[in-house]
């Protein structure tokens, strides 16, 4: 019966999911009962969005539709419990603009798609302290180091709990600091504000790894090229089958594998602007198949959204029907060295 329930739930949630879906996450800057969301539809058509219970099991979504050129204000407390301190939204269209605000404090802020483990910000002139509101998206324990550019030893470390909740910290700015580097182990997002309550933009960066394992790494993606994931392999027979499929695309088959939570960051969406790592990785590439059960079909982003429930209900098995191997990745690409991505240059210039 549990399998049937999961199958029905999977079919339902996939009807609201797409490889082109956009996910927005944000901390809340006031209690959920005082938090509101303004949604603006800039398009001339009806657009949909979903409130999500990110990181939970069971996973739930609540669907909304917004008419052409419509603006609507929703009380966030209608969709989240009283102890919630963060928000997750999904939509299929970038024409929707999401602005959260507090009823009494006067705070307002945009929901954005920042979720890379590495971020930075420029410190406003004369700022003496900055308040950070940090939201863990790794779905396991995470840690963020807060470093001041060109000031060795001026570093703080903030542990983030496993739950989908906002962590707040106030950082004093040492004299001479002009830039802050925020280096997380896994995915996170957040907001930064000056002492005048003015928002300071965070910039997503490409995370650079120190080393990669001795595995061979292969890139899998869908025909539309909107989503991708990386598979490590050390089985000689499976590696040869994979290389053969790369040489002859007509022989490509779907991969059956087992996944688990991970902060190692080698499993990235290589098609995203900053090569954002997923919060899961392939722990065992098992075999290739011509077809597989629908219960393990999906996309990398669907697994990311529903990771806890996916691990419970499928045992961590994936068999994405529309994904095939595209090419082998070099270790330099996996580590995202400055020679493999121009976006790394700015990050490494300040880091090293």
Residue 337 in this model has a pLDDT that exceeds 90: no
Which alpha helices (DSSP H) does the chain contain, by range? Answer: 2-14, 236-247, 300-305, 307-314, 331-335, 344-351
Residue 261 in this model has a pLDDT that exceeds 80: yes
**Average pLDDT for 246-250:** 96
Cα maximum dimension of the chain: 63
The pLDDT tens digits of the residues spanning 312-326 come to 999 999 999 999 999
C-alpha gyration radius of the chain: 21
Any idea which of 6-15, 22-31, 115-124, 227-236 has the lowest mean pLDDT? 6-15
Nearest to 27 by CA among 76, 61, 91, 92: 76
Residue 106, pLDDT score: 75
Measure the CA dihedral 266/270/273/278, to 10°. Answer: -50
| Cβ neighbours of residue 309 closer than 8 Å, sequence gap 6 or more | 56, 57, 58, 59
Any idea which of 14-23, 50-59, 209-218, 270-279 has the lowest mean pLDDT? 14-23
Which residues of the chain form CATH 2.60.120?
Answer: 118-205
In the structure encoding, which two tokens stand for residue 173, read together? Answer: 């700015």
Any idea which of 4-13, 141-150, 227-236 has the lowest mean pLDDT? 4-13
Residue predicted with more confidence, 167 or 21? 167
CATH of domain 118-205: 2.60.120
* DSSP per position, 57-87: SS--EEEEEE-TT-EEEEEGGGTS-TT--EE
Q: How many Å apart are CA 326 and CA 246, to the nearest integer?
A: 6
Residue 338, pLDDT score: 58
The pLDDT tens digits of the residues spanning 291-312 come to 999 999 999 999 999 999 999 9
Residue predicted with more confidence, 8 or 248? 248
Residue 95 in this model has a pLDDT that exceeds 90: no
Residue predicted with more confidence, 347 or 97? 97
Please state the pTM of the whole predicted model.
0.87
Residue 275 in this model has a pLDDT that exceeds 70: yes
Residue 20, pLDDT score: 63
- 167 and 158 in contact (C-beta within 8 Å)? yes
In the structure encoding, which two tokens stand for residue 167, read together? Answer: 């962590």
């Amino acid at each position: 019966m549990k399998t049937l329930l999961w199958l029905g739930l999977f079919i339902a949630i996939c009807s609201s999911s797409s490889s082109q879906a956009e996910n927005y996450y944000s901390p809340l800057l006031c209690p959920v009962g005082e938090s509101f969301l303004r949604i603006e539809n800039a398009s001339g058509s009806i657009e949909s969005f979903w409130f999500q219970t990110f990181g939970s099991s069971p996973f739930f979504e609540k669907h909304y539709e917004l008419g052409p050129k419509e603006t609507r204000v929703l009380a966030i407390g209608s969709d989240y419990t009283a102890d919630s301190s963060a928000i997750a939204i999904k939509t299929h269209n970038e024409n929707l603009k999401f602005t959260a605000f507090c009823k009494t404090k006067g705070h307002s802020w945009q929901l954005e798609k920042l979720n890379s483990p590495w971020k930075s910000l420029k410190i406003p002139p004369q700022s003496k302290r900055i308040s950070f509101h940090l939201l863990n998206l790794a779905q396991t324990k995470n840690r963020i180091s807060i470093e001041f550019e060109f000031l060795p030893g001026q570093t703080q470390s903030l542990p983030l709990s496993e739950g989908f909740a906002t962590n707040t910290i106030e950082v004093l700015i040492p004299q001479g600091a002009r830039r802050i580097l925020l280096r997380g182990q896994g995915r996170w997002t957040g907001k930064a504000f000056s002492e005048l309550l003015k928002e300071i933009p965070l910039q997503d960066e490409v995370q650079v790894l120190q080393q990669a394992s001795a595995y061979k790494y292969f890139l899998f993606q869908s025909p539309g090229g909107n989503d991708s994931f990386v598979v490590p392999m050390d089985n000689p027979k499976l590696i040869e089958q994979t290389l053969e499929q790369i040489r002859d695309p007509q022989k490509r088959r779907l991969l059956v594998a087992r996944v688990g939570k991970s902060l190692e960051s080698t499993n990235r969406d290589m098609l995203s602007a900053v090569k954002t790592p997923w919060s899961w990785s392939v722990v065992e590439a098992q075999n290739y198949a011509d077809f597989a059960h629908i219960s393990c079909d999906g996309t990398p982003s669907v697994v990311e959204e529903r990771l806890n429930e996916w691990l419970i209900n499928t045992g961590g098995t994936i068999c994405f029907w529309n994904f095939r191997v595209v090419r082998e990745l070099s270790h330099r690409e996996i580590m995202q060295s400055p020679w493999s991505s121009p976006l790394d240059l700015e990050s490494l210039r300040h880091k090293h």
